[in-house]
């Protein structure tokens, strides 16, 4: 009777658990970590890591942080030697090992390398279990990933009429939200914006709002301004009800950002440059932003990004992944977003995705409004040897 019950119980288990005997510990032993640079679409110098295991599985990660290329490649090689011989199963352990071992040299280069390797490890584990990655991160909360069109206004006239017309075109193409930086070149050392430019931007934003009463306007400021100018920008934008204002001041001063957020109901967005989940604590504690923008290639990969999403959720804050990089970052961010209840929207980033059908195993299913979530094992992005040969560059 006991044997029959056990047999029945095993039959009810998911296939990947029933077949766990096939998961020899040695199969996921890391044998090689190879960094490389690809040039795909309009994103140059995409830094990737290919992690191989003894059982023949491989995973792809990305740690693109322009303009740092050669230093990230060197750091991936260093970390690759550190984790060689370890098990790809142990993602959390390996993240901590890479972080602690190199903590005397913390910086963007290190976290880009950790990100690339971490994403590849998650890819391997999901492939080994034959499931799409989001199922390992808590399952699917969102059926599609909403995006905002990124910098699709182009070099048009800086007038109300031009922005009205272009926004109408974007809406007709399916866009429901869009982001651009309307402020032009970086100001002088005083970080001031002239009244003339402020008035010009007002009319551009007016054109977008009048063209799309329900269109979500995302305004980027690239941390260019001082507090006085940021206050004027906020006052100018408020009548147009923007979806968010991204980094109106440099992000280094959490206290200053918090003061701006308290001054307005416009959600302030920030966080693209922060490294690791540890550095989001103060931002959340001071309620300095209502939208967090972690970048999976800068903050420590999927392991850190999932924790950032959870920290934000505990503080009733949403997150909108920063996504200006390549297809592997896009794939990784999609899976974290799909499995996180407080996901809001994602940056479109790369607007030239002609090669993505060769990269995403189930095809690249996208519109200007949203993306489908890959359902193939792993994160869904894989690069064939022929693809690598065509797009790889040696630096």
**How far apart are the C-alpha atoms of 194 and 190, rounded to whole Å?**
11
**How far apart are the C-alpha atoms of 79 and 203, rounded to whole Å?**
50
**How far apart are the C-alpha atoms of 248 and 275, rounded to whole Å?**
20
Beta sheet of 58-62, edge-to-edge order: 58-62, 43-53, 30-40, 392-393
Instruction: Decide: 298 and 272 in contact? Cβ < 8 Å.
Output: yes
Decide if 379 is catalytic: no
Nearest to 43 by CA among 357, 272, 328, 365: 328
Between helices 301-314 and 91-101, what is the axis angle to 10°?
100
Q: Which residue do the tokens 């926004």 mark?
A: 167
Q: How many residues does the chain have?
A: 395
Instruction: Decide: 110 and 72 in contact? Cβ < 8 Å.
Output: no
**How far apart are the C-alpha atoms of 50 and 60, rounded to whole Å?**
5
132: alpha, beta or left? (left if phi > 0; alpha if psi -120 to 50)? beta
Instruction: Select which of 58, 277, 322, 379 is catalytic.
Output: 322
Decide if 58 is catalytic: no
Nearest to 62 by CA among 76, 74, 73, 48: 48
Instruction: Decide: 361 and 346 in contact? Cβ < 8 Å.
Output: no
Query: Which residues are within 8 A (CB) of 45 and not within 5 positions of it... i.e. 6 or more apart?
Result: 37, 39, 64, 66, 67, 69, 393, 395
Instruction: Decide: 281 and 311 in contact? Cβ < 8 Å.
Output: yes
Q: Which residue do the tokens 């890391």 mark?
A: 30
**Which DSSP category does 165 fall into?**
H
Nearest to 381 by CA among 62, 56, 28: 62
Which class for 194: exposed (0-12), middle (13-18), buried (19 or more C-beta within 10 A)?
Answer: exposed
**Which DSSP category does 128 fall into?**
H
Tell me the pairing of strands 244-246 and 268-270.
parallel
Which residues participate in catalysis according to the annotation? 222, 322
């Amino acid at each position: 009777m006991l044997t029959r019950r056990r047999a029945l119980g095993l039959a009810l288990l998911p296939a990947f658990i029933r077949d766990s005997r096939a998961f020899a510990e040695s199969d996921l032993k890391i044998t090689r970590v190879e960094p490389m640079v690809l040039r795909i679409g309009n994103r140059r110098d995409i830094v990737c890591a290919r992690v191989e295991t003894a059982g023949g599985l491989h995973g792809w990660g990305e740690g693109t942080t322009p303009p740092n290329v050669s230093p990230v490649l060197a750091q991936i090689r260093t970390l690759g030697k550190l984790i060689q011989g370890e098990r790809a199963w142990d993602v959390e352990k390996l993240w901590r090992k890479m972080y602690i071992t190199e903590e005397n040299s913390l910086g963007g280069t290190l976290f880009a390398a950790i990100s690339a390797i971490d994403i590849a490890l998650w890819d391997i584990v999901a492939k080994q279990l034959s499931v799409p990655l989001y199922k390992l991160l808590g399952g699917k909360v969102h059926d599609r990933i909403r995006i905002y069109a990124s910098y699709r206004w182009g070099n048009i006239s800086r007038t109300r009429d031009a922005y009205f017309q272009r926004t109408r075109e974007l809406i007709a193409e399916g866009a429901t939200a869009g982001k651009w930086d309307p402020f032009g070149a970086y100001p002088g050392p005083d970080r001031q914006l002239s009244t003339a430019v402020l008035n010009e931007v007002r009319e551009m934003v007016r054109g977008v709002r009048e063209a799309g009463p329900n269109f979500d306007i995302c305004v980027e400021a690239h941390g260019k301004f001082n507090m006085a100018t940021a206050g004027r920008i906020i006052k100018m934008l408020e009548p147009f009800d923007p979806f968010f204002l991204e980094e109106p001041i440099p992000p280094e001063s959490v206290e200053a950002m918090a003061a701006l957020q308290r001054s307005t109901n416009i959600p302030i967005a920030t966080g693209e440059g922060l490294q690791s989940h540890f550095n989001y604590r103060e931002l959340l504690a001071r309620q300095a932003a209502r939208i967090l923008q972690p970048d999976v290639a800068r903050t420590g990969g999927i392991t850190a990004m999932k924790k950032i999403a959870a920290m934000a959720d505990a503080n009733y804050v949403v997150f909108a992944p920063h996504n200006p990089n390549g297809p592997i970052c896009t794939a990784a961010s999609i899976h974290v977003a799909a499995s996180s209840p407080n996901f809001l929207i994602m940056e479109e980033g790369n607007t030239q995705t002609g090669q993505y059908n060769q990269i995403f195993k189930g095809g690249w299913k996208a519109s200007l409004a949203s993306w489908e979530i890959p359902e193939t094992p792993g994160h869904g992005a894989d690069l064939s040897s022929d693809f690598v040969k065509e797009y790889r560059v040696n630096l």
